[in-house]
Structure 1
Amino acid sequence: MRTIFVWLTLLLTRMQAAEPTADAWLAHTKIAPPLQVPASLDAWQPQRAQIRAKLIELLGDLPPRPLVSAFQVIAKEDKGTYTHETIQFDNGSGEIVKGYVFVPKQATAQSKAPAILYCHWHGGQYDIGKQELLQTNATPVAPGPALAAAGYVVLGIDAPCFGERNGKGPDGPQQKGSAGEMTAAKFHLWAGRTLWGMIVRDDLTALDYLCSRPEVDASRIGVTGISMGSTRSWWVMAMDDRPRAAVCVACMTRYEELIRAGMLKAHGIYYFVPGMLKNFDSEAVIALAAPRATLFMTGDQDGGSPVDGVKHIGEIVSKVYALHGSEAAQHFENAIYPGIGHVYLPEMWEKTLKWMDRWVKGE
């Protein structure tokens, strides 16, 4: 009997050792608690500055952003109601970055228009990048022409490893797709910075250029995207105060809940910032947007955004918006769609347009 007991004990021990759980990993790792929202706006402002400063530090030793004079328009095509431009710039770290600009015909230097910085998704679609603006691979409509028709100047660029940057990493064309993404991440870590930091840096460079365009009213700019594009959008809002509003579809992810759900696999290596959880979880990043208008739309069946984490973020961030007064409360919305996964529904697109018209155009 004793022999059987010992054997069962050893078997259970081996099974537990062979299958470590997220709870066991977390129990032996010191991570930051949920963001503690102070009681007053005066107390929040220095805390906000500290969080942004820490984010800049965690992203690593990023090269200075190139000047807007580095941008060139290399092609221009009349599309009737708008002009479609192809632009490029040297990002100062070894790559030429290309993007698309959509300019409504009514937008001029004398009649400036609101603008949208559009951030494309990941989806494992490394060949697409900025082409997403002209396709429906991620969105119900082609967002470039649709947003231009709504009266916005629109800009979107290829993120690192995507579009015309696929196969342009340090290992060259032999490393494309996820292999190229991994190679780029390795290079940047050796250089003391992160791939995510470089992604956000390029987006902020694009924002610099968008604000400089003569047809753009730099006081009326929004940022949007789905999936990786959503995460890019809320990081842009966190790192820069110029955008007035954001719409983020999917990827409202709280990292502790993501770990507990066993869904780290849902996000590529680009997504991870060393030391992040030692300092704070993602609600600290999202909260930096307050009191500017931010809309999140997430399906409750999206494995990459566990719904308990989505709700947790919403609860915390709502408290930060409340510090700015009762009117600011309507500037934040956390919409959860029952029975929906990682998708962009037509009704979500309609809500995106209404949100941007209200908070960017001011209609």
Structure 2
Amino acid sequence: MPSGLIPFRVITIALGVTFPATMLPAQSPVPITNAERWLSAVKTPEFTAPATKEDWDKQRTEIRATLQSLLGTFPPRPAVPEVTTISREEKDGYVLEKFRFENGLGMTVPGYLFLPSAPAASGKKSPAILYCHWHGGQYDIGKEELLQTNATPVAAGPALATLGYVVLGIDACCFGERNGEGPGGPTEKGSAGEMTAAKFQLWAGRTLWGVMVRDDLMALDYLCSRPEVDASRMGVTGISMGSTRSWWIMALDDRPRAAVNVACMTRYQDLIQAQNLKAHGIYYFVPGMLQHFDSEAVIALAAPRPMLFMTGDQDTGSPVSGIKAIVERVKPIYQLHGAPGHFENVIYPGVGHVYLPEMWERTVKWMDLHVKSQP
């Protein structure tokens, strides 16, 4: 080749000429992210639906046992917590009771119970909903969310009670009246108190998330025990942290008939890939989980009970790729049960981490259809 001529790639293709590799431009390797490097060292088994329902029943038992083990070591729950009723007030369309119980872990759990003012038709017991409040960095609110619109389009407690539901909600650990009730004392509140509580539980051989879910299950035990409640017709719902609490409750307990989960349909590997672990607080993390499975295995445990998920595609805490991966893996489990319509997922375009009025309407319709209706 004459000196001074530069061998362009387009010319070699047109003329069918082959040049030595040293004369061709070097191909830059595709860079990988830190998240990909870190994930490459974790071998999370792929979750797939087995061939038969019988095989799934066995796998389901194993997954649930693994989850309980990962959450930590806890004393047995009493059949029904010993509850103290603090107050009872007649409101417009409902009765509001405030109560508390001890969780056996050195903590007092305060809660609200909303009872419909109108007695159930023909003396029948009422359907019930366990409502799980969100995080949102709003440590002072907790169960007060049931009476406010900080997270929901309407005050969920009164709204659901006037529709005929008994509604119960508690303060999660570090929230509401429990903000400042951790081992750091009353001056350590908010995220600092949450971090201290998480550290303490790890030293105690359990997780903060395990404490939160166990408290919710104790609240469910109490709800079942109320004479006004039809324990065969109970649902669970919430947004954000409340959503995650809801689908974990469905995974660990077969009593709720249905759930509605707004936001936080989060697949952990996709969240890591999106480099957005910062979107979730320390309360949420369960050591060792990715050694066994991702969140689709937890959500699948609810099958065949009705589950509705609603998430905005701009919600950075729930990457859409992860939502689609969960749906792809969970749908076949519902199909094994012959109930594909019981698992519904709605992705809202252009929507972030919010609870829209349309979402509330869907929530009520789902609960009316799958919880309020007679068995």
Q: What TM-score comes out, normalization by structure 1 length? A: 0.92
Question: Within 2, Cα distance between the matches of 1:220 and 1:107?
Answer: 16
Indicate the structure with greater helix content.
1
State whether residues 290 and 321 of structure 1, in contact with CA within 8 Å, keep that contact through their aligned partners in structure 2: yes
Cα displacement (A) at 1:33: 3.2
1:31-83 deviation per Cα after TM superposition (whole angstroms, max 9, x unaligned): 31331211111110000000000000000002222442511211000013210
1:218-238 deviation per Cα after TM superposition (whole angstroms, max 9, x unaligned): 000000000000000000000
Structure 1 residue 115 corresponds to structure 2 residue 128: yes
State whether residues 81 and 102 of structure 2, in contact with CA within 8 Å, keep that contact through their aligned partners in structure 1: no
State whether residues 121 and 227 of structure 1, in contact with CA within 8 Å, keep that contact through their aligned partners in structure 2: yes
Question: Within 1, Cα distance between the matches of 2:165 and 2:56?
Answer: 33
1:248-279 deviation per Cα after TM superposition (whole angstroms, max 9, x unaligned): 00000000000000010000000000000000
3-state SS of the aligned residue for 2:186? helix
Question: Gaps (5+ residues) in structure 2?
Answer: 1-27
Question: Within 2, Cα distance between the matches of 1:315 and 1:286?
Answer: 12
Structure 1 residue 92 corresponds to structure 2 residue 120: no
3-state SS of the aligned residue for 1:72? strand
Structure 1 residue 336 corresponds to structure 2 residue 351: no
State whether residues 263 and 353 of structure 2, in contact with CA within 8 Å, keep that contact through their aligned partners in structure 1: yes
**Match for residue 24 of structure 2?**
none
Q: What TM-score comes out, normalization by structure 2 length? A: 0.89
Question: Within 1, Cα distance between the matches of 2:61 and 2:81?
Answer: 30
Q: 2:303 aligns with which of 287, 290, 293?
A: 290
**Match for residue 201 of structure 2?**
188
Instruction: Give RMSD over aligned pairs.
Output: 1.5
Q: Which amino acid aligns with 2:72?
A: G
Question: Within 2, Cα distance between the matches of 1:144 and 1:136?
Answer: 11
Question: Gaps (5+ residues) in structure 1?
Answer: 1-11
**Match for residue 126 of structure 1?**
139
Question: Within 2, Cα distance between the matches of 1:126 and 1:80?
Answer: 28
Q: Which amino acid aligns with 2:37?
A: A
- The farther-off stretch of 171-180 and 204-213 is 171-180
Q: How does 1:280-359 map to 2 (within 5 A)?
A: 280-325=293-338, 328-359=339-370
Rg comparison, structure with higher value = 2
Cα displacement (A) at 1:188: 0.3
Q: Give the length in aligned residue pairs.
A: 344
**Match for residue 248 of structure 1?**
261
Structure 1 residue 259 corresponds to structure 2 residue 296: no
1:279-317 deviation per Cα after TM superposition (whole angstroms, max 9, x unaligned): 000000000000000000000110000001001101111
Question: Within 1, Cα distance between the matches of 2:295 and 2:333?
Answer: 14
Q: 1:178 aligns with which of 191, 214, 217?
A: 191
3-state SS of the aligned residue for 2:325? helix
Q: Which amino acid aligns with 2:118?
A: Q
3-state SS of the aligned residue for 1:89? strand
State whether residues 311 and 346 of structure 2, in contact with CA within 8 Å, keep that contact through their aligned partners in structure 1: yes
Cα displacement (A) at 1:92: 1.0
Q: How does 1:9-28 map to 2 (within 5 A)?
A: 21-27=34-40
1:144-190 deviation per Cα after TM superposition (whole angstroms, max 9, x unaligned): 00000111000000000000000000111121000000000000000
Question: Within 2, Cα distance between the matches of 1:262 and 1:69?
Answer: 41
1:184-240 deviation per Cα after TM superposition (whole angstroms, max 9, x unaligned): 000000000000000000000000000000000000000000000000000000000
State whether residues 296 and 329 of structure 2, in contact with CA within 8 Å, keep that contact through their aligned partners in structure 1: yes
Cα displacement (A) at 1:20: 6.1
Q: Which amino acid aligns with 1:227?
A: S
3-state SS of the aligned residue for 1:303? coil
**Match for residue 118 of structure 2?**
106
3-state SS of the aligned residue for 2:351? coil
